[in-house]
Amino acid sequence: MITATESRLQANPQQIGMKMESKGCTQDCAGCGKTIAERYLLKALDMFWHEDCLKCGCCDCRLGEVGSTLYTKANLILCRRDYLRLFGSTGYCAACSKVIPAFEMVMRARSNVYHLECFACQQCNHRFCVGDRFYLCDNKILCEYDYEER
């Protein structure tokens, strides 16, 4: 018996910290090089940034708004989606054999990986949820009922 769990590509993300600027202390922005005069600033990669200057190198989204994590690789600063799109590994669904993009949420059963919509009993098509019990028998996913009936 196996319990359903969601899985994501693990990377080495960097935390973005937001801090209140104290009076009399000035920091230069790592993005534009100008002094940060605003009340709030971002700290990422051991450097300080204007909120508008810390952006994804691909989609240009403001990383302080997207979340509290950024990714770096090949001298790029990236949001999670672009990091996975560029550097994540794609795989194939064990049920439908179609490609699973690296940024997509998946379900895993031992070494098998599934699209969320494909993660179902291969006998009765009952869709599993996180925490549901299922059985992997002859590389096929079965619900408890169908496993006991076989």
Q: How far is CA 72 from the centre of its chain?
A: 14
| pLDDT interval class at 65 (50, 70, 90) | confident
Which candidate, 105, 71, 107, places its Cα nearest to that of 86? 71
Q: Is the pLDDT of residue 80 over 70?
A: yes
Every domain of the chain with CATH number 2.10.110.10 lies at 2-9+88-149, 14-86
Which stretches of the chain are DSSP H helices? Answer: 63-66, 80-87, 144-149
Please tell me the number of Cα atoms within 13 Å of 98 on its side-chain side: 8
Give the pTM.
Answer: 0.55
Q: Which two tokens stand for residue 139?
A: 């590389």
- At residue 18, the pLDDT reads 58
CATH number assigned to the domain with residue range 14-86, chosen from the 4 options 2.60.40.10, 1.10.1060.10, 2.10.110.10, 3.90.1150.10: 2.10.110.10
Residue 143 burial by Cβ neighbours in a 10 Å radius (0-12, 13-18, 19+)? buried
Q: Is the pLDDT of residue 66 over 70?
A: no
Determine the average pLDDT of the residues in 6-34. Answer: 64
- At residue 25, the pLDDT reads 67
